[in-house]
Chain A
Amino acid sequence: MLRAVVTYGSTGPEVFLSAEGEEGYSSYKYEDCSIIPEGKDPQESIESLEECDPGPSPIMPEAKELYWGAGAFIVFALLMRFFLYPRLRKSMDARYESIRSSHAEADQARAEARGEVATYEAALAEVKAEAAARIDAARATLESERSVQITEVNGRIAARREAAAAASVSAHQAARGEIGTAVASVASRTVELATGTSPDPVAVSRVVDEIMSSGVSS
């Protein structure tokens, strides 16, 4: 029986046929080949390896590849169906569900936060309105108190002004009296020095008063 040995040399795959105690292939006959080429005598020696062992058909499926491939796929598909995919899918679904529930919680928290913000804004508006009312009331109170106090202060100022005016008038009259007295004294002395007689004080005082009155009036 011929045995095919495939080796990989620098020129690519090489096939040699060998059997125990023999070397090369020149001693083999076409009857040793798996397929006897057309027109060849089975007893004739082979000419080349290719015509004796053409290699696998590029088109026809080989049984060993078919059942190894089929077996590998069937085992893989069964593992995938009953073990691999369910585990992966289960944990994916669990994570998706967790994400979905987290989203729902986030939505709920957002709605609650919005509600709280609305409540806060309403309370804030109420407080602002109350504060504005209080400010207005305080302002009105302050205004009325201010008016009262201004009236009171104006009254006091007017009274003081009248008192000051009266004091000024009396001081003015007192000063005028003193000046009149002093002027009469000076005039009496002057007349006495000029004439050697002392004038009548009443007449001097009357004349001085007349002059001062005319001077003030002029």
Chain B
Amino acid sequence: MLALEFPPINEILRWQDVFPSFNKIAIIAVAAALVGTVIFLIAGNADGSKAPRGIRNFAEAIVEFIEGQIIMPTMGRDGLGWTPFMLSMFSFIYLCNVPGIIPIIQMPATARMAIPLFLSLLVWVVFIGVGFKHQGLGYLKSSLFPPGVPAALYILVTPIEFISTFLVRPFSLTVRLFANMLAGHILLVTFALLTEELVQGGNIALIPVGILPFFMLVFLTAFEVLVAFLQAYIFTILAAVYIGGAAHPEH
């Protein structure tokens, strides 16, 4: 009888501090900022007059992706000023997600609550600030009393709008990113442990069976590449939607 002892979730998240107050998640976060900085530094130093190649091509593709696929559809041409913010947010989240599939590191920094929470609170502060900057106190009116709704329904609609706009948005942004990345990490751990247990468990008959979870592990690793990109994209486009909606409520 095969007995797979799966560690508790907090067990697979326990890391030895490199030094007090600096653990693996902090390393990944700092490395993500450094790698992003180096990529855009190298891209900026390359000769811009010629057709872009290599890292510059990669960096320009990200910039055009942010502008063309995130900012223009959600904020319009007026939102292009937000490109550096969206670009840094997308790059940072992606570079925090990707270590989940890099051998040895194998931990997405966004699978812990801290970074998604900080980014969500930042977006929350930014979109509320943008709302007040563009509309003044009218932002509260446009947010809590959406036009076109019969006055009697404001009793229901206003609390719902307040909760969804000011409370649920940062919460949903945080949980969406954190939960997806943590779930992916747990899946990878599960199939890695199952493969190890079947192959090294001492039962020769089960060794060929171990190839099944191994293939699943390979597939999920490839899938996590997509998830890493997708979650960064979703977080960033939602941030753009919230900021764009606060700046131009008519949209």
Contact = CB atoms under 8 A, between A and B. Distances in A.
A128 B12 CA distance: 91
A92 B40 contact: no
B55 to A, nearest CB: 11
Interface residues of B, number: 50
A58 B182 contact: yes
Interface stretch (A80-88, A104-112, A165-173, A188-196): A80-88
Interface in B107-140: 109, 112-115, 117-119, 122
Contacts of A92: 48, 60, 63
B11 A5 contact: no
Contact of A57 (B10, B12, B49, B96): B10
A55 interface: yes
Given A80-B87, A85-B87, A61 B114 contact: yes
A80 B84 contact: yes
B8 interface: yes
Interface string B1-42: 000000111111111100001110110011011001100110
A98 to B, nearest CB: 7
Instruction: With a 10 A CB-CB cut-off, give which of B25, B88, B91 has the most chain A CB atoms.
Output: B88
A6 B14 contact: yes
Instruction: With a 10 A CB-CB cut-off, give which of B14, B16, B36 has the most chain A CB atoms.
Output: B14
Given A77-B84, A84-B41, A92-B48, A58 B114 contact: no
B174 to A, nearest CB: 9
B49 A80 contact: no
Interface of B: 7-16, 21-23, 25-26, 29-30, 32-33, 36-37, 40-41, 43-44, 48-50, 59-60, 63, 83-85, 87-89, 91-92, 96, 109, 112-115, 117-119, 122, 182
Interface of A: 5-6, 12-13, 15, 50, 54-66, 68-70, 72-73, 75-77, 79-81, 84-85, 87-92, 94-95, 98
Given A55-B8, A65-B109, 11 more contacts: A6-B15, A55-B11, A56-B13, A58-B10, A64-B23, A68-B30, A73-B119, A80-B87, A84-B84, A85-B83, A94-B49
Q: Which 9 pairs show the lowest CB-CB distances between chains A and B?
A: A91-B48, A68-B26, A65-B114, A55-B10, A87-B44, A76-B33, A55-B14, A84-B40, A6-B16
